[in-house]
Amino acid sequence: MQTSSPRQITAIAPVVAIVGATGAVGVELIHCLESRNFPVGGLKLLASARSAGKTLTFKGRDVTIEELTARSFEGVDVALFSAGAGISRRHAPDAVGAGAIMVDNSSAFRMDPDVPLVVPEVNGETLARHNGIVANPNCVAAIATVALAPLHRAHPIRRLRLTTYQAASGAGAAAMEELRLATAAHLRGEGYAPKVLPHPYAFNLFSHNADVDAESGYNGEELKVVAETRRILGAGDLPIGITCIRVPVLRAHAMAISVEFDEVVTPEEARALLQNGQGLRLVDDRAANHFPMPSEASGQDDVLVGRVRLDTADPSGRTLALFAAGDQLLKGAALNAVQIAELLLKR
């Protein structure tokens, strides 16, 4: 989708709309705008009719939720969408047509060649090519590329292997509540029939719940991460192997990463590159056996990365193994969207 004259955020204090304001990511968007002191000149909280009239708090005052309609974007400078691909496709013409820049957290536009797919620390320069819509990546792709970007800039990646351990937050607030209820029931010695996810969640893990492609055997989450990681890194032919697993963690995704380069990269050099990487915090204490954990990544803006070592499966010394963890609701979703808006505000 294109517009002939895309609008930039020129207002000193732009009017911001949040679509899907009552969801897990929507709530985090509100918190991110507040915590980062984004210069909000006006805030519109948009959701379905059943949520209209309720209130959420922003900077100590109640903001009434409005029903999302085609006319909701009049006077809006930037619209942060987090309500699913169908809603995004339906209301993109309304938002862009009203003059807003749309930052979309769904999968609707991520592979559209006319829409930049942006992780500000990795490829923020691609924002210059937006035509009214900017796509926010899949949470795993966002977290992984922040960890990989410093290495890839110094030594182009030849091959990538990922195994993800994805928290309930990736499936939304309802899945987080299901994990709480299922765990409490299990500890009481009671059964709990899953309603949101397809398998028992407490003290269990299972293949990511996205639909599985019958031909390839890969699920939709895995296919998205492969395609989006290539696009964000600007490496369209990068071979990527991936397995995505849902684990009984409330918040923050973790991943084991094996990175093969064209040349030998020592763990010492990799640590130095990661130590200086944007949006990263190196957690790599071998003596204390202390490496990235979801419990420490939760609520943090930075992606935690560590456990840097040679991958012994490659005797050439060109492959490193890493472990990373990042908050899916923040860097994997809301924070990344707000950072995009901040960059747009500077242009």
151 and 260 in a single domain? The answer is: yes
302 and 164 in a single domain? The answer is: yes
* Of 31, 130, 139, 155, catalytic: 139
334/330 Cα distance (integer angstroms) = 5
The pLDDT of residue 5 is 44
The pLDDT of residue 85 is 96
The pLDDT of residue 93 is 97
98 and 168 in a single domain? The answer is: no
Residue that has been written with the tokens 């002191």 in this structure: 37
* Residue 208 bears catalytic tag: no
Instruction: Give 139-169 pLDDT, tens digit per residue.
Output: 999 999 999 999 999 999 999 999 999 999 9
219/124 Cα distance (integer angstroms) = 29
CA 301 to chain CA centroid, Å, is: 12
**Residues 136 and 105: beta-carbon distance below 8 Å:** yes
327/253 Cα distance (integer angstroms) = 6
The pLDDT of residue 4 is 41
Other Cβ atoms less than 10 A from the Cβ of 88: the count is: 24
* Of 31, 152, 155, 253, catalytic: 253
The pLDDT of residue 3 is 44
Strand 157-166 and strand 253-261: the pairing is antiparallel
Instruction: Give 174-197 pLDDT, tens digit per residue.
Output: 999 999 999 999 999 999 999 999
Torsion angles phi and psi, residue 250, rounded to 5: -70, -40
**What is the domain-level CATH number for residue 97?**
3.40.50.720
- pTM reported for the whole predicted model: 0.94
Please count the structural domains in the chain: 2
H/E element holding 268? Answer: helix 267-275
Q: Kindly state whether residue 9 falls inside one of the protein's structural domains.
A: no
Distances (CA, A) of 160 to 110, 229, 237: 21, 10, 11
Is the dihedral angle over the CA atoms 326, 328, 329, 333 positive or is it negative?
Answer: positive
70 and 206 in a single domain? The answer is: no
214 and 315 in a single domain? The answer is: yes
Supply the DSSP symbol for 210: S
Q: Kindly state whether residue 136 falls inside one of the protein's structural domains.
A: no
82/66 Cα distance (integer angstroms) = 15
* Residue 253 bears catalytic tag: yes
**Residues 155 and 265: beta-carbon distance below 8 Å:** yes
Positions in the chain short of pLDDT 70: 1-8, 347
Q: Kindly state whether residue 266 falls inside one of the protein's structural domains.
A: yes
221 and 323 in a single domain? The answer is: yes
217/154 Cα distance (integer angstroms) = 34
Q: Which range of residues forms the domain containing residue 20?
A: 15-108
Question: What single-letter amino acid sits at 116?
Answer: P
Q: Which among 83, 99, 104 has a CA at the least distance from the CA of 337? A: 104
The pLDDT of residue 7 is 55
Residue 60, phi-psi category: left (phi > 0), alpha (psi -120 to 50), beta (remainder): left
Q: Which among 220, 6, 178 has a CA at the least distance from the CA of 97? A: 6
The pLDDT of residue 11 is 73
**What is the domain-level CATH number for residue 316?**
3.30.360.10
Q: Kindly state whether residue 132 falls inside one of the protein's structural domains.
A: no
The pLDDT of residue 347 is 62
148 and 294 in a single domain? The answer is: yes
